[in-house]
Amino acid sequence: MSNKLSTADRILEAGRELFNSKGYAATSLHDIATAVGISKGNLSYHFPTKHDLATRLRDDARRAARERRRRPRCGDVADDYVEHLLFAMEITWNNRFLLREGDELLVADGGRQAELAADFDELRALMQRMVSEGLFLKAATDDMDTLTRSIWIVSRYWMDYLREFERLQEIRWEDQERGIRHHFAVLLPCLTAAARRRFESALARAPRRITQVESD
């Protein structure tokens, strides 16, 4: 952990790592203070309770998502689409304890539905751009709303699948990458051959290289 970060940022970083690895309930303020190398009293000065710390991590994630959405998207639609998906999957990965325990942690959370709707609306706008550019096979455009929802559901509930069906107690980034591959397994067959090549190239250019996305 970098000593160049402020104490509050170091606490947030350690808290996120421990919540993700051990779980929120199993992590104490003492655990976090020890990881940072400070006293519990110093930690409590910045975040009096674990709930305060978890809420700050949630709010920081949402702020990052809002700031990203405010930036104009004017590149190739395949690049913009891949960036949207990888950002969503990475921010979910970095704050996966919120998905695992968010209902119990943040019962009074009034902004969750709005954030989900904003993410879906961004995906729908990207899909509409793809339709306007003629990237879909004709049959795929008959019910774009269902296709968009199906694709979004794969990404949004992938970690739920890993926990509930595969019974994974510890989720690795490799497991998250499988979710990305499943996402594209739904999308790519709906695209023209030329469009599939564009998306495969966009994946290859992405900062985090996906190992392989299979298409017909």
Q: Cα separations (Å) of 150 from 41, 68, 155, 176?
A: 47, 23, 9, 18
Model pLDDT, residue 193: 97
For residues 35-52, average pLDDT? 95
In percent, the amount of the chain with pLDDT more than 70 equals 89
Residue 173 phi, psi dihedral angles, 5° rounding: -60, -35
CATH of 1-48, one of 1.10.287.3510, 1.10.10.60, 2.60.40.10, 3.40.50.2300: 1.10.10.60
Q: What is the pLDDT of residues 5-32, one digit of tens each?
A: 899 999 999 999 999 988 898 999 999 9
Q: What is the pLDDT of residues 59-70, one digit of tens each?
A: 999 999 999 888
Model pLDDT, residue 110: 60
Domain-wise residue ranges, the chain: 1-48, 60-205
Q: What is the pLDDT of residues 184-210, one digit of tens each?
A: 999 999 999 999 999 999 988 887 644
Residue 47, token pair as written in the block: 């975040």
User: Cα torsion at 55, 91, 168, 52 (round to 10°)?
Assistant: -10
Model pLDDT, residue 74: 77
Q: Categorize the per-residue pLDDT at 157 as very low, low, confident or very high, splitting at 50, 70 and 90.
A: confident
Of the candidates 202, 28, 38, 20, the residue with the CA atom closest to the CA atom of residue 100: 20
Answering whether pTM is above 0.75, one says yes
Residue 125 pLDDT more than 60?
yes
Owner of token pair 């590149």: 75
For residues 152-172, average pLDDT? 85
